């Protein structure tokens, strides 16, 4: 899992933690951090920063990739776009290639990060990540769904996220090589 927000109190991290708690037992989930990745610069690919190398290896070792992201200015947050770019290079050795994916976006706003969700899907098409089409997950009003300890307190959202993860588990199996 990759969380597109770097901040400590991130709603999207709370969503990610809820998804981990609600996932079927067959899925072993973990968050791969992206905040430590230097901004991608192709010049560095001859001698890449250690953080890039370990990130690429971590993604390569995963069977699937699940993105949970906020929307920044109607698009993908820069930190997440950077992680996608880092993982996609060097050319011909993309860590993302063929991994079954899914996208969840969450925002305090009413449209739940729809713009970020779909801009991210545009990159995933190019990266040959089959991204689960349904259920779509635009979590609006997301600041009202968790208590002060980051616990999910909305039953409808809990049911929705649980169903999402059950469908995603099937998607992974159906799209694995
Ligand atoms: C935002 N926010 C935001 N929200 C939204 O629904 N659509 C948007 O386009 C934007 N744009 C935007 C740009 C920038 C630079 C920031 C910092 C924020 C608000 C955003 O949804 C809110 O800060 C969330 O709490 C971010 O998610 P995390 O960090 O809580 O996971």
pLDDT in tens, 114-123: 999 999 999 9
Closest C-alpha to 131, from 166, 87, 101, 167: 101
Report the mean per-residue pLDDT for the chain.
98
Q: What angle do CA 18, 78, 137 make, to 5 degrees?
A: 35
pLDDT of residue 161: 98
Q: Tell whether ligand 1 has an atom less than 6 A from the beta carbon of residue 70.
A: yes
- 146 CA from centroid of ligand 1 (Å): 17
Mean pLDDT value of segment 99-107: 98
Using the predicted structure, report yes or no on whether residue 177 has a pLDDT greater than 90: no
Q: How far is it, in rounded angstroms, from Cα 169 to Cα 30?
A: 15
Give the global pTM. Answer: 0.98
pLDDT digit string (tens) for 157-176? 999 999 999 999 999 999 99
- 124 CA from centroid of ligand 1 (Å): 21
The alpha helices in the chain, defined as continuous H runs, are 11-22, 50-60, 78-88, 114-126, 155-174
pLDDT of residue 105: 99
Q: Tell whether ligand 1 has an atom less than 6 A from the beta carbon of residue 12.
A: yes
Q: Which atom number of ligand 1 is nearest to the Cα of residue 70? A: 27
Total residue count of the chain as it appears in this document: 177
Calculate the alpha carbon distances from 153 to 1, 142, 149, 158 in Å.
22, 11, 10, 8
8-state DSSP, 34: -
- 22 CA from centroid of ligand 1 (Å): 25
pLDDT digit string (tens) for 11-64? 999 999 999 999 999 999 999 999 999 999 999 999 999 999 999 999 999 999
Q: Tell whether ligand 1 has an atom less than 6 A from the beta carbon of residue 109.
A: yes
């Amino acid at each position: 899992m990759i969380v597109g927000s770097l901040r400590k109190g991130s709603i999207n991290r709370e969503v990610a933690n809820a998804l981990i708690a609600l996932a079927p037992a067959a899925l072993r989930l973990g968050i791969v951090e992206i905040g430590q990745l230097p901004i991608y610069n192709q010049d560095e690919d001859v001698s890449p920063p250690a953080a890039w190398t370990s990130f690429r290896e971590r993604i390569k070792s995963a069977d699937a990739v699940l993105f949970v992201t906020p929307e920044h200015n109607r698009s993908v947050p820069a930190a997440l776009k950077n992680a996608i770019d880092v993982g996609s290079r060097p050319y011909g050795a993309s860590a993302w290639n063929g991994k079954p994916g899914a996208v969840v976006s969450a925002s305090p706003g009413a449209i739940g990060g729809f713009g970020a969700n779909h801009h991210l899907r545009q990159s995933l098409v190019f990266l040959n990540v089959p991204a689960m089409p349904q259920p779509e997950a635009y979590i609006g009003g997301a600041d009202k769904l968790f208590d002060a300890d980051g616990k999910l307190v909305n039953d409808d959202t809990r049911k929705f996220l649980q169903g999402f993860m059950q469908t995603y588990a099937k998607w992974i199996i159906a799209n694995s090589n």
